[in-house]
Amino acid sequence: MINKLIEKIKATNAPIVVGLDPMLSYVPEHVQKKAFAEYGETLEGAAEAIWQFNKAIVDATYDLIPAVKPQVAMYEQFGVPGMAAYEKTVSYCQEKGLVVIGDIKRGDIGSTSEAYAVGHLGHVQVGSNSYAGFHEDFATVNPYLGSDGVKPFIKVCKEEKKGLFILVKTSNPSSGEFQDRLIDGRPLYEWVGEQVAAWGADHMGDSYSYIGAVVGATYPKMGKVLRSIMPKAYILVPGYGAQGGQGKDLVHFFNKDGLGAIVNSSRGIIAAYKQEKYASFGAENFADASRQAVIDMVTDISTALESV
C-alpha cells in the first residue's frame, strides 16, 4: 500500500492528504437540514449529515489528491451511527481510488492491539467466513506501550499489504511535555523515531517502508532531525493550516527525491468555505471551496519545495 500511496502522490503531484474530520459545525446548514428532515435531529441524522458532507468534498477533490485521513473520533462522538458513517466514508473513498489513512491512534497490550489491527486493517474470522470491519489502508498507532503494542499491527500490515504511521512527535502545543523529555541526552521522540526506523527496516515497500511516522508540521526543526533518523519512513505531517504550519515549514520533512512526506490539512480544506479567502463560494458551494483550497495548498507546498 505504501507503493500505491507513492504512485498516487507522483501521479497527482500532490504530497497531501485531506483530513475528513467533520465537526457538525462545519456542515453547511442546507446539508444538515436535509439530513435532519430524513432522520430527525438524532445520531442517525448527524451521521447522515457528515456522510453527505464528506461525499460532496470527496467528489470535488478526489482527482487532485492521493489520500484522505478520516479522524475516527469525529465519527465516534456520534456513537454507533457515527461509526457506520466512518465505515461508509472509508468505503466510498476507496471506491474513488483514494488511499485511506484511518486516524485512529490505537495502541494497547499485544492481544488487544491484535484485535484493533484485525478490525481496522485486517480480517476477523467468524465461523467459516472472514470480514474486514473498517478496512482502512493505513492506521495511526500510539507507541506508549512499546514493541508488543505495535508488532500486532505490523504483522497484519505485512499480511494484508497495509501500512502504519506511528506517533513520534505530535503537532499539539503540549506534545513536548513527555515527548521532548531528555533520555541519555536525546528527547524521547528521537528514541521513538529510532524504533520506528528499526521496525520499518524489516518492512519495506519498493523505496519506502510501510511503517511510517507522524511528526507535526508545527515542529519543523524536529522534523529535520527525525527525517535523518528515519530516512526510509514516510512521514505523515499534521498541523498544516489551521494549526499554524506553513509550506516553508515543511521542506525538511521531505527527502531529496521530493518524497517521504505527506502533509495533512483538515479544517483548512473541508471547512474552507468558512474562511474569508473562500467566502465568495458561499455555503451552497462548500465543496468547490474545498477544491480551491486543495489547489492552493498544493501550490503552497510545491513552491516551498521548489525554492529549496
Q: Which residues are catalytic?
A: 105
Confirm or reject binding of residue 118 to a copy of itself (CB under 8 A).
yes
Question: Mask of contacts with a copy of itself, 262-301, x by CB under 8 A?
Answer: ----------------------------------------
- Give the binding range for a copy of itself (CB under 8 A) out of 122-130, 227-235, 254-262, 300-308: 122-130
Smallest distance from a copy of itself to CB 149, Å:
6
List the one residue from 3, 4, 8, 36 that touches a copy of itself (CB under 8 A): 36
Give the interface size with a copy of itself as a residue count (CB under 8 A): 74
Q: Which three cell numbers stand for residue 42?
A: 438524532
Distance CA 220, CA 150 (A): 26
Write down the residue that cell numbers 438524532 correspond to.
Answer: 42
Q: Which residue has the cell 470527496?
A: 58
Rule CB under 8 A: say whether 167 interacts with a copy of itself.
Answer: yes
Give CA–CA dist 134/121, Å, rounded: 7
Strand pairing of 129-131 and 182-183? unpaired
The distance of Cα 89 from the centroid of its chain, to the nearest Å, equals 13
Residue 51 vs 78, nearer CB to a copy of itself = 78
Reduced to 3 states (helix: H, G, I; strand: E, B; else coil), residue 130 is strand
Burial 246-269 (b: 16+ CB within 10 A, else e): ebebbbbbbbeeebbbbbbbbbbb
Closest to a copy of itself by CB, 61 vs 113, is 113
Task: Please say which residue, 77 or 303, places its beta carbon nearer to a copy of itself.
Answer: 77
Q: Which stretch binds a copy of itself (CB under 8 A): 2-10, 92-100, 119-127, 198-206?
A: 119-127
Alpha-carbon torsion angle 115, 134, 156, 125, nearest 10: 60
SS3 at position 230: coil
Q: Out of 38, 63, 80, 231, which residue is the one contacting a copy of itself (CB under 8 A)?
A: 80
**Contact residue for a copy of itself among 51, 78, 92, 281 (CB under 8 A):** 78
- Contact pick of 11, 125, 276, 307 for a copy of itself (by CB under 8 A): 125
Site for a copy of itself in 2-21 (CB under 8 A): 21
Query: Which of 5-13, 146-154, 285-293, 299-307 is the region at the interface with a copy of itself (rule: CB under 8 A)?
Result: 146-154
* Residue 175 near a copy of itself by CB under 8 A: yes
Identity of the residue, 184 or 257, whose beta carbon is nearer to a copy of itself in the bound complex: 184
Please list every residue from 189 through 218 that binds a copy of itself, using CB under 8 A: 191-192, 195
Report if residue 244 touches a copy of itself, rule: CB under 8 A: no
Angle at 94 between CA 131 and CA 204, to 5 degrees: 80
How far apart CA 227 and CA 221 sit, in angstroms, is: 10
The number of C-alpha atoms within 13 Å of 7 and in the hemisphere containing its C-beta is 9
- At 308 the three-state DSSP class reads coil
Give the residue, chosen from 1, 5, 18, 32, that forms a contact with a copy of itself under the rule CB under 8 A.
Answer: 32
Mark 32-53 as b/e (b = at least 16 C-beta within 10 Å): beebbeebeeebbbbbbbbbbb
Q: How far apart are CA 196 and CA 272, in angstroms?
A: 34
**CB 252 → a copy of itself: shortest distance, Å?**
21
176 binds a copy of itself (CB under 8 A): yes
